[in-house]
Chain A
Amino acid sequence: MNSAYIASVINSTLRSTTPILLAALGCAICSRVGVFNVALEAQMLIACFTSIAVNYFTSSVLLSVLAGVLSGALVGAVVAILQVKYKAADMVVGTALNLLVGAITTFLLYLIFGLRGKLVDNRLVSLSKINLPVIKDIPFLGRVLENLTIIDYLSYIIAIVLFVYLFKTVAGFRTLSVGINKPAAESLGTKATRIQMEMVTLSGALCGLGGVVLSMGQVTMFTENMTSGRGFIAMAAASLGMSHPLLVIASSLFFGLCQGIGLALQNVVKAQLTNTLPYIATIVALVLFSKRNSSAKLKK
C-alpha cells in the first residue's frame, strides 16, 4: 500500500464525510432540544433534487446551493410543525416524510424533465473545487486535500460554530435548557416551543446543505433516492457523538472512512458487497460504543 493510495483513501473519506457530518449536526441539534427527527433523509433528498433542478435552469452554483438549503429547511419546518406544534408521533412523521420526499422528487423528475431514474446533463455546473495554492504542491497533503469543495471546509466550521453557540452563548444555554427540561425553561419565560421549531428547521437547512454536497460535489447529478440511508447513518453518527458538535465530527469521519474504504475496495471485491460496508459498519459502531452510551445514561 503506497502513500498515494492512502492519500486518495483519505481524500475520498473527507468527501464522503461532509454530507454525513452536516446531517449528523442537524440531528444533534434536534436531539439537543428534545426532538427526535427521523426525517433527515427527506431533508437531504429534497435538497439533492432542488439544487440540481435549479442548477439545470439557472446554471448558477450559488442559486442552486441556496435552493437546496431552503428546500431542506422547508421540510424541516414541516417536521417542526407536525412534531413540535401538533405533537405528532416522531416515527410516523419521519417515515412518512422520507417516503413522501422520495415520491415527490421522482414525480417532479418525470414531470419537469420527463426522466426516470436519474438526471445527468452537461449543462449542470458542479461546486468549484478548491486546490489550495501552496498545499497542493506538498506531495501527500496535496493529494489528501485535492479537489475538495468549499462546503467540505465549511462543514467543519459549522460544527465549531455550533459548539460555540451551544456551550458558550446565552442563547445556546437557553436552547440546551429546552432539551434538558422544557417545563423549567418555559417557567422562566423561554419560548421553548419556538426554539424547538427553529432548531428543527435549522436541522433541515443543514441536511439541505449536506444534500447539495451529495448532488453537486463529487458527482453532479440527481438519482432517485440517492441519499440511500445517509440520513440514518447520520443519526447513528449523532448518537455516537452524543450530540456534541465536536464529537460528531469524529463519529462522522469514521462513517466517511467506511465509505472511503468501501470505494477503494471496489476494484478488488464486487461492488454489491463493498456497498454493504457503510451499513454494516454503522451497526458495528453502534454495538461497540453501546457500553459507553448506556453508562452515560445511568449517570444521568
Chain B
Amino acid sequence: MKHITKVYGSLYANDDVHLTLDKGEILAVVGENGAGKSTLMKILYGLEQPTSGEIYLNGELQHFRSPHDAIAKKIGMVQQHFMLLEPCTVAENIVYGREPRKNGLFFDRSAAIRITEELCDKYGLHIDPRRLVKDCPVGLQQRVEILKVLYQDADIIIFDEPSAVLTPQEVGELLATMRKLAQMGKSIIIITHKLHEVMTVADRVMVMRLGKYIQEMPKSETSIEEMSFLMVGRHIVEREVPPQETTGTVLDVQDLVLAGPDEKNILDHFSIHVDAGEIVGIAGVSGNGQSELIQCLTGLLPPTSGQVVLRGQNMAGRSVGDIRSAGCACIPEDRYLWGCAAKASLTETSIMAHQYKPELSRHGLLNSKGAKGFTQKLLNDYDVRNSGQSQKAGELSGGNIQKLIVAREMEQNSPLLIAAEPTRGVDIGAIEFIHNKLLQKREKGDAVLLISSELTEIMSLSDRIYVIYEGHAAGEFRKADATEEALGILMMGGTLHENE
C-alpha cells in the first residue's frame, strides 16, 4: 500500500501511509485508539475507499470497491466486531458466500457440515459445526471467523484487535494459531495496541500515530518501551495510587440471582461488597453477566432473588428513580444505548436524572435558566468540546460525549458510582481524564464499582478486584495479590490452587 490517504470531512484518518507485507510473515500494526489502524485495514479489505493512494498485490495495482473484490484476491479479515449470523449454525456461517449447492439451487447443509469438519482438521481448529453461533463463547465465535476466512481461501489475513474480547489464556491460543497459519504460508496482519502480544507473535512492527506512518522495524530490534514511546509520542508515567483507608460498606450485594430464559441463571448467587473510599473492579470476559449485573444494580432489571443493599437499604427490584435517589449514579456501559439520545441537545442530555433537583425544576415546571447554567458548568469543568448547548449529542465525538456522561453522573455526588466500561473506544487523552476523575471520586471517600473488560484498566485503578464468570463472583483479590495470569484463569472458569 502506497501513499494511502483517507479524509473524513476535515479529519485525516490516514495521511500518506505505506505498508508492505511479505509472504508468511506476521506484521503487527500498532497505535493508540484513533491512530488510523482500522481505517487502513478497512481500505485494504475494500470496506472503505482511499481518498488517494494505491494498493499493489504481487506487483499488480488493485482497485477494491467492496470486500468482494478483496476476497477474490484472497484477502480476508477477522473483524473486531464479529460478522456472524448468530441464529445460524457454525457450518452455515463458515460456508456463507460460497455455499455448497444441490441441483444448483438448493443449499446443501450436510455438505456444509462436511466441509467445516474437513477445514477444522486441516488447520487443527476444532469446533462443532452443528452448534448455533449464539451458543458459542466468544473465543469460539472468533474461531468461526478465522475458519470463515480460511474457507474463503485467503492468503492474507487481517486481524483487527483480535484479543480485545478474549481472556489472557484464549489470547495465548489465538497467538499460537496465528503462528501456525504463518508457517502454513499465510501472511498475517494484526492490528493491536497490546504490545506484549506484538512481542510474542510478530515478525515485524509498524507504528502509527494520529493517522500517520511513524516507523517500522523488525521485532528483534525493538522493545515494548520504544514502541510505546513511538505510539504515544511521549513517555507514559505509571500512575501511583496511594493506598487509602475505607470507611464502611456502601453497597452490599448478597446472593443476587437473575434467572435466564433456560435453566441456567444469568447471575448466579452473585455476592460482592463495595466500601466507601475504594474502587472495586469487576473483571471478566464480556457476556458473563456484567450487563445484567449493572441493570440489576441500577434497577433497569428486577433480579429474581437476592439483596442489593445500598447504604443499609435493600434496593433489589426497586425502580431506577428510587435507586438513584438512594445514592447511586451510573456511567452506562453503552453510551449510545443508555447514556444519551442522539437527537437530544446537550442541555437535554446533561439534565437527565437531575431534572427533579430544585435548581432545575419546581412543581414539575422546568427552570430553563438553571438547566442552561448547569449544563454550561458540566461542559466547562469536564472540557467537553462543543459548538453550543443546542448541539445534538449525536454530533459530539465519542470521547466528548463520554466525558459529558461522566460529568453528569459525577455531579450526582452520590455515595456510589457504578462505572461500566468508562473508557471504551475513547482516545488516550479522554482515558486519562476519566481515570483521574474516578480516582478523585475515591479520594473524596465515595465508593466506585468499576466494571470493565479492559484488564489493565481494572488492575491499575482498583483497590480490590472480583472476577465474574458465568454470573458468579469467581474470586476476590487485593490489588497487591492480583496478577494478570491469576485473573485470566478465573475469567476462563478455572480455579486457583491458592484459593482452595
A–B touch (CB < 8 A): the answer is yes
Q: Which of A168, A185, A188, A295 contacts B107 (CB 8 A)?
A: A168
Chain A nearest CB: distance from B456 CB in Å? 29
Instruction: Tell me if B300 is interfacial: C-beta within 8 Å of chain A.
Output: no
Instruction: Tell me if A173 is interfacial: C-beta within 8 Å of chain B.
Output: yes
17 CB-based A-B contacts, threshold 8 Å: A170-B99, A171-B105, A172-B107, A173-B96, A180-B87, A181-B83, A181-B84, A181-B86, A184-B85, A186-B66, A186-B67, A187-B47, A187-B79, A188-B68, A189-B66, A189-B68, A299-B261
Chain B nearest CB: distance from A125 CB in Å? 37
Instruction: Tell me if A300 is interfacial: C-beta within 8 Å of chain B.
Output: yes
Residues in A neighbouring B438, C-beta threshold 8 A:
none
Interface centre among B88, B96, B148 (most CB of A within 10 A): B96
Q: Whole-angstrom distance between the alpha carbons of A295 and B259 in the complex?
A: 13
Instruction: Tell me if B106 is interfacial: C-beta within 8 Å of chain A.
Output: yes
Q: Which of B47, B85, B101, B148 contacts A170 (CB 8 A)?
A: B101
Instruction: Tell me if A298 is interfacial: C-beta within 8 Å of chain B.
Output: yes
Q: Which of A168, A172, A298 contacts B261 (CB 8 A)?
A: A298
Instruction: Tell me if B218 is interfacial: C-beta within 8 Å of chain A.
Output: no
A-B contact count (CB 8 A): 60
Chain A nearest CB: distance from B496 CB in Å? 34
Instruction: Tell me if A43 is interfacial: C-beta within 8 Å of chain B.
Output: no
Instruction: Tell me if A183 is interfacial: C-beta within 8 Å of chain B.
Output: yes
Q: Whole-angstrom distance between the alpha carbons of A209 and B359 in the complex?
A: 62
Residues in A neighbouring B68, C-beta threshold 8 A:
188-189
Q: Which of B67, B92, B101, B106 contacts A188 (CB 8 A)?
A: B67
Q: Whole-angstrom distance between the alpha carbons of A241 and B96 in the complex?
A: 27
- Given A184-B83, A187-B47, check contact A170 B106 (CB 8 Å): yes
Chief secondary structure at chain A's binding surface: helix
Q: Name the interface size band of chain B.
A: 20 to 34
Residues 148-173 of chain A, each 1 if its beta carbon lies under 8 Å from chain B, else 0: 00000000000000000000111111
Instruction: Tell me if B157 is interfacial: C-beta within 8 Å of chain A.
Output: no
Interface residues of B in 129-154 (CB under 8 A from A): 134, 148, 152
Q: Whole-angstrom distance between the alpha carbons of A190 and B96 in the complex?
A: 9
Interface residues of A in 173-198 (CB under 8 A from B): 173-174, 177, 180-181, 183-190
Residues in A neighbouring B96, C-beta threshold 8 A:
173-174, 177, 188
Instruction: Tell me if B43 is interfacial: C-beta within 8 Å of chain A.
Output: no
Q: Whole-angstrom distance between the alpha carbons of A168 and B107 in the complex?
A: 6
- Is A177 a contact of B85 with CB atoms below 8 Å? yes
Instruction: Tell me if B258 is interfacial: C-beta within 8 Å of chain A.
Output: no
Chain A nearest CB: distance from B444 CB in Å? 40
- Is A188 a contact of B84 with CB atoms below 8 Å? no
Chain A nearest CB: distance from B162 CB in Å? 16
Q: Whole-angstrom distance between the alpha carbons of A299 and B264 in the complex?
A: 12
Q: Which of A171, A180, A190 contacts B97 (CB 8 A)?
A: A190
Question: A188's closest neighbor in chain B, by CB?
Answer: B97
Interface residues of B in 44-96 (CB under 8 A from A): 47, 66-68, 71, 77, 79, 82-88, 92, 96
- Is A187 a contact of B83 with CB atoms below 8 Å? yes
Question: A299's closest neighbor in chain B, by CB?
Answer: B261
Residues in B neighbouring A177, C-beta threshold 8 A:
85, 88, 96
- Given A181-B83, A181-B85, A181-B86, check contact A173 B261 (CB 8 Å): no
Q: Which of B84, B97, B106, B261 contacts A295 (CB 8 A)?
A: B261
Residues in A neighbouring B87, C-beta threshold 8 A:
180, 300
Residues in B neighbouring A170, C-beta threshold 8 A:
99, 101, 105-107
A sample of 5 more A-B contacts (CB under 8 A), given A173-B99, A177-B96, A185-B85, is A172-B107, A181-B84, A181-B86, A186-B66, A188-B96
Interface residues of A in 241-265 (CB under 8 A from B): none
Question: A172's closest neighbor in chain B, by CB?
Answer: B107
